[in-house]
Chains A and B, each alone.
Chain A
Amino acid sequence: MAILDFAGASQSTVSFVTNYGHRLYSDDFVRQLDRVFGSAPDGANDAGFLENQTNPALVSDFFELALSFDDGSFDGALVWDSLQFLSSPLLQTVVAKLHRMLRPGANLFALFHTDERIENIPTYAYRIHDKRTIQMVSRSQRKPAQIFNNRNLEKLFQDFQSVKFFLTRDRLREVIVRR
């Protein structure tokens, strides 16, 4: 199987996925977002970062840099918490592109912060340690483009076959979407 990982390459995830005999495609999606739209460390520069996501030229650059895959390239996608930092309409365009990149029956795994009260949310580098453990390495804090509830998420992934939600202890909503 071909697996897309947006967390950036790490030894543990590479070992975990490739030990099953799968092919791993790795990129740091949030780093590419920062590179194209301007970094938003600590949430300080978020106005420009989110505003730039509506610039058609930058959006085109972003797709060329981070999402230039053929349709039906992957059997699974680990997008982690990256979708939270996309504003509309870029978010919808990225999800539509992910839908095309995944083969029918493929699964997509995403995380969304649930706490609406805090302005900046912690961000992590996610690494699969073993079957039961995901290691979260702290990166920074940043402001999400929006906070999602179940209804938002169902609407966001409406073109997919099914959406399942799991609430975790860390104020995170795990979402598994089937293409």
Chain B
Amino acid sequence: MSTQPARPLETRPEPARGGVAILGKSVILKGQIYGREDVTIDGEVEGTVELQEHRLTVGPTGKVVATIKAREIVVLGTVQGNIETREKIEIRKEAKVIGDIRTARIVIEDGAYFKGSIDIVRAEAPKPAAVPAAAPKPQPVASAGTPSPAAAASAGDIKR
């Protein structure tokens, strides 16, 4: 049962170049995968996988024993290792994931097996562009009991 309100499907503009690299069922790879395109693993991988701006899919036959960093990960097979995604991880039914996850969003289907910790990392709000420092303007003295907005903001900062 979802606790999220229904919303229309998001559409993401596809990158102008680059497709999906597929590691087939019979491929066994030990080492580091670093990529600038989406990757699907249907074979076995041991080591590290880094696709910072792209999506990793571990297919139903895929077995990955690795530290993974990617923009988005979809697991239908088996993953053992720590996972970090900037946007989302989906653990589909029949999938097995053992490891610690840091992600902005997570989807776990019924039937999936997961053992590990989940840290939801909220996306940081974009910082406003830096404004060149101007000469300080004279401020009116705030009356007692009604702090100025600036004073209130700094009080809040101190609290945090």
Contacts and interface: CB of A to CB of B under 8 A. Distances in A.
Interface of A: 2, 8-12, 14-16, 18-19, 21, 23-28, 31, 129-130, 135
Dominant SS among interface residues on chain B: strand
Contact of A12 (B1, B114, B118): B1
Contact of A8 (B4, B109, B114, B118): B114
A26 B116 contact: yes
Given A15-B3, A129-B1, A135-B1, A9 B120 contact: no
B114 A26 contact: yes
Dominant SS among interface residues on chain A: mixed
A16 B119 CA distance: 13
A11 B114 contact: no
Given A129-B1, A130-B3, A135-B1, A14 B116 contact: no
Q: How large, as a class, is the contact surface on chain B?
A: 10 to 19
A24 B116 CA distance: 8
Contacts, number: 52
Given A11-B108, A14-B108, A25 B1 contact: no
Contact of B113 (A2, A28, A129): A28
B150 interface: no
B159 to A, nearest CB: 17
A23 B119 CA distance: 5
The 9 A-B pairs of least Cβ separation, nearest first, read A9-B114, A18-B120, A25-B117, A27-B115, A24-B118, A11-B108, A9-B108, A23-B119, A15-B3
A12 B3 contact: yes
B118 A23 contact: yes
A12 B4 CA distance: 10
Contacts of A12: 1, 3
Given A130-B3, A135-B1, A14 B115 contact: no
A50 B106 CA distance: 36
Interface in B107-130: 107-110, 112-120
B146 interface: no
Interface string B22-54: 000000000000000000000000000000000
